[in-house]
Amino acid sequence: MNTHSRSRRIGSTHVTPKKSLGQNFLVDAELSRWITDQIQPDDAPVIVEIGPGLGALTEHLVGRPRELILIEKDTRLASSLLERFSADGAISVRNEDASDMDLRSLYRYGDVRVVGNLPYSMGGEILKRVLTAPTPVTCAVFMLQKEVCNRLCARQEDDAYGGLSLLVQKDWDVDLLMIVPPEVFNPKPKVDSAIVRFTPRKPGTLPVFDRAVFDRLVKVGFSQRRKQMKNLMPEPPGGWAALVEHLGVPVSVRAEELTLAKWVDLTRWYEGRKEQDRGQGATELFDVVNEQNEVTGQKPRGEVHAEGLRHRAVHVFVVNKRRQVYLQKRSHLKDVHPLTWDSSASGHLDVGESYADCAVREVREELGIEVPATQKVADIPATERTGMEFVELHTAEHGGPMRYAPDEIECGEWFSPEQIDEWVSARPEDFATGFLECWKAWKSR
Domain holding 294: CATH number?
3.90.79.10
H-helix or E-strand spanning residue 104: none
318 within some domain:
yes
What 8-state DSSP symbol labels residue 276? -
- Please report, to the nearest 10 degrees, the dihedral formed by the alpha carbons of residues 143, 145, 148, 149 taken in order: 40
**What CATH number is given to the structural domain containing 23?**
3.40.50.150
Assess whether 146 and 231 both reside in one domain.
no
What 8-state DSSP symbol labels residue 17? P
- Residue by residue, DSSP assigns 298-354 as EEEHHHHHHHT--EEEEEEEEE-TT--EEEEEEPTT-SSSTT-EE-SEEEEPPTT--
Assess whether 235 and 185 both reside in one domain.
no
Assess whether 388 and 327 both reside in one domain.
yes
**Sign of dihedral through CA atoms 239, 241, 247, 253?**
positive
276 within some domain:
no
1 within some domain:
no
Assess whether 13 and 48 both reside in one domain.
yes
Last residue of a domain, one of 246, 271, 296: 271
Assess whether 149 and 247 both reside in one domain.
no
Assess whether 324 and 381 both reside in one domain.
yes
206 within some domain:
no
Assess whether 388 and 249 both reside in one domain.
no
Last residue of a domain, one of 141, 171, 200: 200
Assess whether 295 and 153 both reside in one domain.
no
Assess whether 174 and 215 both reside in one domain.
no
Q: What whole-number distance in Å separates Cα of residue 431 and Cα of residue 428?
A: 6
Residues 6+ apart with CB under 8 A from 68: 46, 47, 49, 58, 61, 62, 90, 91, 92
- Residue by residue, DSSP assigns 22-37 as T--EE--HHHHHHHHH
Assess whether 79 and 137 both reside in one domain.
yes
**What CATH number is given to the structural domain containing 215?**
1.10.8.100
Assess whether 266 and 289 both reside in one domain.
no
Question: How many degrees, rounded to 5, is the angle at CA 176 between CA 175 and CA 177?
Answer: 105
What 8-state DSSP symbol labels residue 402? -
Q: What whole-number distance in Å separates Cα of residue 209 and Cα of residue 16?
A: 48
**How many domains are there within the chain?**
3
272: left (phi over 0), alpha (psi -120 to 50) or beta: left
- pLDDT tens per residue across all 445 residues of the chain: 333 344 455 444 455 645 544 557 788 999 999 999 999 999 999 999 999 998 999 999 999 999 999 999 999 999 999 999 989 999 999 999 999 999 999 999 999 999 999 988 889 999 999 999 999 999 999 999 999 999 999 999 999 999 999 999 999 999 999 999 999 887 788 899 999 999 999 999 999 999 999 999 999 999 998 899 999 999 999 999 999 999 999 999 999 999 999 999 999 999 999 888 876 666 789 899 999 999 999 999 889 989 999 999 999 999 999 999 999 999 999 989 999 999 999 999 999 999 999 999 999 999 999 999 999 999 999 999 999 999 999 999 998 899 999 999 999 999 999 999 999 999 999 999 999 999 999 999 8
3 within some domain:
no
Task: State the residue range of the domain holding 221.
Answer: 211-271
Last residue of a domain, one of 179, 200, 221: 200
277 within some domain:
no
205 within some domain:
no
Assess whether 117 and 163 both reside in one domain.
yes
